[in-house]
Structure 1
């Protein structure tokens, strides 16, 4: 049992090495059987021919051994070629053509055994030409089918090789290393300087404002704003993300837009009232101080004349 499994494995290994992946196990067994059987027939025919030549030519012993030797040799060649066609993954019509050629050659071999030696090569009715012509037709048919199967197999292998090569060229892409990725990032970020939070980086460390930037701005401490703070780990992480620009902390106010607008109007009216009061105080002071100034000027003039 183990020997049979080893033999099966060896046959399939040979098939995969020289032909390809087998489509049917039966074709592998039959193909190798015919191929090796044809070689075996040729070896047996050669041995019989050598043994027959030990007898005197054209004696009964000579014809008894040489006749079967010729028949085995004539059968070995078409059987071996049929095994090749069976092994190759060719179309069925090629296999049928090969089988037909083998059948014709076997008919010619049978005619040879019937005619040899009494009706062969100038003796008796001499069927030599007819038998050889029949054998040649069958051999030509099986030769043509074998050649067609071999050509089809090689073309199929060439197409598969081209497809694999084309696929490798198409799918092959240069491998990116960490250095290449870092270089691409550096090139993309070249000339861009950002600090935490996505704010553009500046070279100075000062903040300057014009005198009138905050004239119309009122910070209302009584607006009812509420700020929510938490001291947990999640809150700390959220704060860090806010610094980095990923998230921002929001402060909500309970006052509405109308409330803020009303307070701004109230502030402006208050400032206008203060300005008007200041102007009135300056007018009253001028009214009071102007007569006194005139009286003092007259007194100085009087004493100066004296």
Structure 2
């Protein structure tokens, strides 16, 4: 059974942009697309004060028809989940999906983007990958009026080589391969505090590895980890980078020409209570305009 690419739809420009992005992704994956509207326990009055059920059906129907028209060959289904907490509803939908896609609201270029509490909680707890998409324009809300933020050429992967995992890397290589674009792998690092100096000759010479030596070691480690993935995906051009600095900041800079940014999230373990979303994922989600995929891993 093929699980669909599922998108949460609420009528906002961001959710309409995420539906458009999800349609393209479903075609790339040769999967159906499912549009889902989540009705909270006490649904607000929709625009114009119309009946909530009528508005909900109209929202799903019009967007399904518009997406099918713009993307011939795409199979689109719709559904709504009622009488549940929105986060629980989206998590249930995610469990039955290949990928969950949600919208992210824009603030200013300096402040970044607003990730609502529902989206944040869903990303932090989902068992499957979740992609956050922001709208390129604040359209009127009609189907097709709002498009995803324009992406660039590359897929960018943020990878901590100290904790390699297959799920994250496979997702990124697969995304680059399906798009026919290069994969930029960013593994930022910083030396341990004790190594943040260069000993003088008077002090006995270089007793510790220099920053340059550590950078070479990091690059060699990354190349070694990438070797089997290059062999498995020979058509993907890989651009490895091991910049010295904050992982979040380096990923944000690398994402300027990205069509997709891929970061990981550790699944909740027995040692921690509640969902966890690391500082790097936080930074990328709030400051990168390209779609961001958060991939859960052990």
TM-score normalised per structure 2: 0.22
Higher share in helix: 1
> Comparing both structures, which one devotes a greater share of its residues to strand?
2
TM-score normalised over the length of structure 1: 0.22
